[in-house]
């Protein structure tokens, strides 16, 4: 990596755009700190993947994706609480509805990508499909969903002339993205997959191929790539929370690659994120198992209603917000029975009402939500 050159700036009149060099080539990693962190990240990610095999991962996968969606969109200014993620559209105030919709489209994009992966490899086609779902019907819907940009974009500043960073001209995007795809799928390239993921994320953010949604797509690509390459079986690793908590370092380290050819610092930051996120994921899974066992004991106190309460609890682990009609549908009993069960679950501290309203009340599974915030 000592001879790594990230790219070059080209004059465009009143501004300069940055053209990254191709990444589909042979690589030699000679940074011992990077290699040490790589070994640690491999271990921690392996533990997370192994741990996920001992839980019903399908039960919690929507929660992980929702948390990733919320954190990823927060990086770009969207403000949606974790409780709001699981509410229906009509339960969201009008002034916050656009933010809520962006998170919902992120969740839909991840789900769509996971469905496509078995038949569609990690590719520019997959990336464009993800972008199309992400921007449909939200604030970026006029910015060519699923299509590469046909004009110059920029990052920071009010215009091109005072931008913090200007990506390559749109005429170069297709070739650069083809090079990225070739690098991702070249079996002869022996760069470790975690470093490939780090480099692909950097390169994608540098190309900035779309008019909008680049940050969200770029972060979403990380778990997709790792699943596609068999590093993890399911998308249980999400770095958006780490990037959000270290937002300035995230941007600074990406920029430092371009300005100082310092790829090693970006690798170290990225691998540190994998280590921390994997450990946090293991703690979350462990907390879920402990919570399940503790609540199973609590539900025994409900006697004949405990079977219905378990049905509701299983549903809450999938979607930790509920109202009376949905609870009634789950247990298949009368409205009176549904409200009695809600009272029981409130008394046991499992449900918490969040609207303060007399009608249309909504309840959340607070203790479960808190596991993802820790």
Cβ-proximal residues to 121 (8 Å cutoff; 6+ apart), any chain: 185, 228
| Domain segments of the chain as ranges | 7-282, 284-373
Cα distance between residue 96 and residue 79, in whole Å: 8
Mode of pairing for the β-strands spanning 16-20 and 7-11: antiparallel
- Same fold for the pair 7-282 and 284-373: no
What residue has token string 């820790």?
374
Cα distance between residue 321 and residue 243, in whole Å: 27
Tokens of 67: 């948390």
Q: Are 222 and 197 in contact (CB under 8 A)?
A: yes
pLDDT tens string 25-81: 999 998 999 999 999 999 999 998 887 776 666 555 566 666 666 665 665 555 556
Q: Are 261 and 5 in contact (CB under 8 A)?
A: yes
Q: Residue 116: which H helix or E strand, with range? A: helix 97-116
Tell me the CATH architecture of domain 284-373: Orthogonal Bundle (1.10)
Cα distance between residue 315 and residue 118, in whole Å: 27
pTM (predicted TM-score): 0.86
The CATH class given to the 7-282 domain equals: mainly alpha
Q: C-alpha distances in angstroms, 145 versus 1, 108, 140, 148?
A: 36, 14, 8, 8
pLDDT tens string 176-219: 999 999 999 999 999 999 999 999 999 999 999 999 889 889 98
Cα distance between residue 26 and residue 90, in whole Å: 53
pLDDT tens string 88-134: 666 666 666 666 677 777 778 888 888 888 888 899 999 999 899 88
Instruction: Tell whether the model's pLDDT for residue 20 goes beyond 70.
Output: yes
């Amino acid at each position: 990596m000592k001879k790594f050159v990230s790219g070059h700036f080209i004059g465009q009149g009143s501004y300069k755009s940055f053209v990254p060099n191709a990444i589909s080539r042979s690589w030699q990693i000679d940074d011992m700190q990077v290699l040490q962190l790589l070994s640690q990240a491999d271990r921690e990610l392996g533990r997370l993947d192994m741990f996920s095999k001992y839980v019903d991962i399908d039960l919690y996968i929507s929660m992980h994706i929702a948390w990733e969606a919320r954190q990823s969109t927060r990086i770009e200014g969207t403000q949606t609480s974790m409780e709001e993620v699981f509410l229906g559209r009509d339960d969201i105030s009008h002034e916050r509805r656009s933010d809520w919709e962006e998170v919902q489209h992120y969740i839909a994009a991840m789900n769509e990508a996971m469905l496509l992966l078995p038949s569609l490899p990690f590719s520019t086609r997959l990336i464009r499909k993800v972008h199309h779902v992400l921007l449909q019907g939200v604030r970026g819907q006029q910015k060519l969903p699923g299509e590469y940009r046909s004009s110059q974009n920029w990052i920071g500043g009010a215009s091109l002339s005072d931008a913090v960073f200007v990506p390559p001209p749109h005429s170069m995007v297709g070739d650069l993205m083809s090079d990225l795809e070739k690098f991702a799928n070249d079996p002869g390239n022996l760069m470790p997959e975690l470093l490939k993921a780090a480099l692909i994320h950097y390169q994608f953010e540098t190309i900035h191929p779309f008019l909008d949604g680049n940050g969200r797509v770029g972060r979403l690509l990380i778990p997709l790539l790792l699943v596609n390459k068999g590093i993890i079986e399911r998308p249980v690793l999400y770095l958006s929370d780490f990037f959000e908590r270290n937002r300035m370092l995230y941007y600074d380290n990406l920029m430092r690659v371009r300005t100082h050819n310092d790829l090693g610092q970006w690798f170290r930051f990225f691998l540190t994120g994998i280590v921390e996120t994997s450990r946090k994921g293991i703690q979350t899974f462990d907390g879920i198992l402990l919570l399940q066992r503790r609540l199973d004991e609590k539900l025994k106190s409900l006697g004949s209603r405990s079977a219905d309460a378990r049905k509701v609890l299983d549903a809450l682990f999938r979607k930790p917000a509920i109202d009376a009609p949905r609870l009634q549908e789950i247990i298949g009993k009368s409205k009176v029975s549904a409200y009695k069960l809600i009272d029981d679950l409130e008394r046991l501290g499992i449900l918490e009402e969040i609207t303060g309203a007399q009608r249309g009340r909504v309840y959340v599974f607070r203790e479960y939500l808190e596991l993802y915030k820790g």
